[in-house]
Amino acid sequence: MWLPNFILPRNPAYVLAALALGVALDYAYPYHSGIALKIHPVHTAYFMAKALGRPGDSRLKGAAVWAAVMATHLTAYGAALYLAWVASPLAWVLVAAYVLKVSASLKLLVRTVEGVAEAAARGDWAEARSLTQGIVRRDVASLSKPHVLSAAAESLAESLVDGFTSPLLYYAFLGPLGALAQRLANTLDGALGFKSGGYEDVGWVSAKADTVMNYVPARLTAALLLLVASATMRRGEGGLRQAAACWLKNARKTESVNAGHPMSALAAALGITLEKPGHYRLECGGRLPTVGDLRAGVSVVKRSAMAWLGLTAALAYAASAAHP
């Protein structure tokens, strides 16, 4: 595979430096506000999609909207990378790190779920519900306390793929534009990919594209969650084998082709049940999550993210070094 240097440099040092800096920036500055928010590609892509794609529009219109949003953003950020590369390798590293930072994010998600656990532990369920509502679509106000914790855990697992492992996997092989393309596809799905409200046709391409792009990352992430958690599973000698069986048994219960995999894997890793009332029940234990389970889930996700980062670095090094 051949890619221009400004997309994926042949020197692995530049690719790894941008990876390290991009992840460090997310850790140091997970929030965006003011101008930083207004120019964030997730923000601009979301509102561009909403402005161009309207309920009742056709699949053809939806495909055109998807192509327009993707092309506009990838061209703009590709031009920035090209100009930076022409200027100097250091400039490229800085711009590439920024593109990766706005494409792959984990710190804010983890901090939010930790906040849910802390609020629930001190009995402040109003705060726990408020924080959870910020990361899920369902109406949290109507949920029982265990279902609030379940919603937070489900989002933690699903968003690990959407916002971190998937964009990093694309970064390894396609550079910062690969990571950005995945994040844009996920954003377009969030903006238009509904199966109700008149979005069935206009959001069809956005939903399918997101499914295709996250298909492999979702399954690899699920496997990694179980491997990372296997050392602390309290299931006897057959812990990992039993957990893997529970993951595969439950993974197809969700409407999403991909989301059920990391969610079921996390449920299996913790030995609990995760449930969205009226939609699915991922049974890998006899109870819904407790505050302790949610904290354990955060720990598993953090350790999995570190392992995935190491894998990304190895794959990025190999892909860059293999350039002709």
Q: DSSP readout, 78-110?
A: HHHHHHHHHH-HHHHHHHHHHHHHHH---HHHH
Is 249 inside any structural domain?
Answer: yes
- pLDDT value, residue 167: 98
**pLDDT of residue 232 exceeding 50:** yes
149-174, pLDDT tens digit by residue? 999 999 999 999 999 999 999 999 99
Is 4 inside any structural domain?
Answer: no
**pLDDT of residue 195 exceeding 90:** no
- pLDDT value, residue 323: 73
In order of 4, 138, 224, 310, the CA distances from 151 in angstroms are 42, 8, 21, 29
- pLDDT value, residue 247: 96
Stretch 29-50: mean pLDDT, rounded?
Answer: 95
The answer to whether 105 and 43 have CB atoms below 8 angstroms apart is: no
Stretch 228-232: mean pLDDT, rounded?
Answer: 84
Average pLDDT, the chain: 95
296-323, pLDDT tens digit by residue? 999 999 999 999 999 999 999 999 998 7
Is 64 inside any structural domain?
Answer: yes
Res. 45 pLDDT band, cuts 50 70 90: very high
Range of the domain at 164: 12-321
As for how many domains the chain has, the answer is 1
**pLDDT of residue 238 exceeding 60:** no
What torsion, rounded to 10 degrees, do the Cα atoms 110, 124, 288, 30 define?
-10
Is 5 inside any structural domain?
Answer: no
Does 234 or 199 have the greater pLDDT score? 199
Stretch 108-116: mean pLDDT, rounded?
Answer: 97
- pLDDT value, residue 322: 87
- pLDDT value, residue 240: 87
Please name which of 256, 130, 251 lies closest in space to residue 189, comparing C-alpha atoms: 256
- pLDDT value, residue 233: 64
Amino acid at 215: Y
In angstroms, rounded to a whole number, what is the distance separating the alpha carbons of residues 68 and 76? Answer: 12
- pLDDT value, residue 1: 57
Please name which of 288, 244, 292, 248 lies closest in space to residue 269, comparing C-alpha atoms: 244
Stretch 20-49: mean pLDDT, rounded?
Answer: 95
Res. 286 pLDDT band, cuts 50 70 90: confident
Is 86 inside any structural domain?
Answer: yes
- pLDDT value, residue 234: 55
Is 105 inside any structural domain?
Answer: yes
- pLDDT value, residue 236: 45
Is 2 inside any structural domain?
Answer: no
**pLDDT over 90, % of the chain:** 91
Is 109 inside any structural domain?
Answer: yes
- pLDDT value, residue 208: 97
- Look-up of token digits 């999403």: 256
Res. 237 pLDDT band, cuts 50 70 90: very low
- pLDDT value, residue 239: 80
